[in-house]
Amino acid sequence: MRVNLAVRPSLAKLSVMGPFFIGIDGGGTRTRAVVARSDLAPLGRGVSGPANAATRPLPGVVESVQEAASDALLAASLRDVPPETVVVGLAGVDSITDRQPLVRALEAVFGMGRVLLTSDAQIALAGAAADGVDTPAVVLIAGTGAIAFGQGPGGVVARAGGFGSLLSDEGGGYAIARQGLVAVVREIDGRGPPTDIRERLFTTGGVSSLTELLERVYRSEGGAADIAAYFPVVLAAARAGDAEARRILEEAGRELALDVVTVVRKLGLEGASFTVATIGGVFAAGDLLLAPLVAAIHRVAPQARIGPPAYPPEVGAIRLALAAARKSS
């Protein structure tokens, strides 16, 4: 359900409720929103479709953002009160040469001067460490795509990966699923070893034959998220002990570790104690992917603390808003 997000509040209601914020995390598969006050306790949450700013048309991005925010506001019973600030972190936004059309479109929804547009990596980093948004830390996002983004002493930032499925994003859901589909084709063609991925793809993966698979891959108007949707098939085969699926996940872990290690070296954090926050659906693979990832990172940065973030990215977005308010006051 979509509601008007740029309405004028009654002063009485606003004074009772106090200022609140909306944090939005838009990725290649889904968009998440949270409504919270300065204590960061969620008042309401919402979820919608993809909002990758580099691969989705602008109207589709705005629609996903608005839908997720609307649901969060309804859940918080705040649909008649405008937010103090809306921080929108989107995948692919760093690839846009001119952000202003997107900012204007979002301001038409949320109100002039209320929108802070940034990347999904930036809001994820803001939620990575419990002790503040300025703390040296690295965030590793592995959903449809993959990127490592970090901050060192003095606020210096660095990134690795995150340049899209065709040129980058090794270790992400698209790359893992694609390798799984390649393994199936190689087996059918006689160029590769037998793999349980094939059996699972044609029984529970929603594909009945190689012909149907080829039609879906080459004749579909879908994007990377449609290929990434086969990630659970590869994961299920790996959990069942399939050697080819396990090899794919181990390789993905090493590729993701390379992203992190590259950022660590750029920031000079090799000898430091810092957080590496892991975010995204790929980490559902558990130790099948995490074991090689952790081992590779610790060879370069032995004091790195690797695990889930202190706050999810959408809450990290609100932490950014609060930090910006403190600096301007």
Q: What is the pLDDT of residue 131?
A: 85
The residue behind tokens 């959903």 is: 143
Inform me whether the pLDDT recorded for 13 exceeds 70.
no
> What is the three-state SS of the chain?
CCCCCCCCCCHHHHHHHCCCEEEEEECCCCEEEEEECCCCCEEEEEEECCCCCCCCCHHHHHHHHHHHHHHHHHHCCCCCCCCCEEEEEECCHHHCCCCHHHHHHHHHHHCCCCEEEEEHHHHHHHCCCCCCCCCCEEEEEECCCEEEEEECHHHCEEEEECCCCCCCCCCCHHHHHHHHHHHHHHHHHCCCCCCHHHHHHHHCCCCCCHHHHHHHHHHCCCCHHHHHCCHHHHHHHHHCCCHHHHHHHHHHHHHHHHHHHHHHHHHCCCCCCCEEEEECHHHHHCHHHHHHHHHHHHHHCCCCEEECCCCCHHHHHHHHHHHHHHHHC
% of the chain with per-residue pLDDT over 70: 94
Q: In which band, very low, low, confident or very high, does the pLDDT at 5 lie, cut at 50, 70 and 90?
A: low
> What's the rounded mean pLDDT across residues 227-235?
95
Q: In what order do the strands lie in the sheet with 157-161?
A: 157-161, 146-151, 137-142, 275-279, 305-307
What are 142's strand-pairing partners?
Answer: 146
What are 291's strand-pairing partners?
Answer: none
Q: What residue ranges do the domains of the chain occupy?
A: 11-126+312-328, 134-308
Q: Would the CA dihedral through 31, 139, 224, 192 be positive or negative?
A: negative
CA 33, CA 241: separation in Å to the nearest integer?
37
The residue behind tokens 């979002």 is: 106
Amino acid at 38: S
Q: What is the pLDDT of residue 26?
A: 94
Q: In which band, very low, low, confident or very high, does the pLDDT at 96 lie, cut at 50, 70 and 90?
A: confident
Please state the CATH superfamily assignment of the domain spanning residues 11-126+312-328 in this structure: ATPase, nucleotide binding domain (3.30.420.40)
The CATH number of domain 134-308, selected from 3.40.50.2300, 3.40.50.80, 3.30.420.40, 2.30.130.40: 3.30.420.40
Q: What is the pLDDT of residue 10?
A: 39
Terminal alpha carbon distance of the chain: 36
Dihedral Cα 225, 123, 65, 27, nearest 10 deg: 0
Reading the block at residue 95, the tokens are 């690839």
Count of all residues that appear for the chain in the document = 329
Whole-number average pLDDT of the chain:
90
pLDDT in tens, 213-229: 998 888 777 678 889 99
Query: Is 11-126+312-328's fold the same as 134-308's?
Result: yes
Closest of 132, 129, 160 to residue 145, by C-alpha: 160
Inform me whether the pLDDT recorded for 135 exceeds 70.
yes
Of the listed ranges 93-97, 158-162, 266-270, 301-305, the least confidently predicted one is 93-97
> What's the rounded mean pLDDT across residues 15-31?
82
pLDDT in tens, 40-82: 999 999 999 999 998 889 999 999 999 999 999 999 998 777 8
Q: What is the pLDDT of residue 97?
A: 83
Q: What are the backbone angles phi and psi of residue 66, rounded to the nearest 5°? A: -65, -40
Inform me whether the pLDDT recorded for 14 exceeds 50.
no
Q: In which band, very low, low, confident or very high, does the pLDDT at 9 lie, cut at 50, 70 and 90?
A: very low
Q: What is the pLDDT of residue 17?
A: 55
Reading the block at residue 303, the tokens are 């004091």
Of the listed ranges 162-176, 183-197, 220-234, 270-284, the least confidently predicted one is 220-234
> What's the rounded mean pLDDT across residues 146-154?
94
Reading the block at residue 42, the tokens are 């969620």
Inform me whether the pLDDT recorded for 302 exceeds 60.
yes
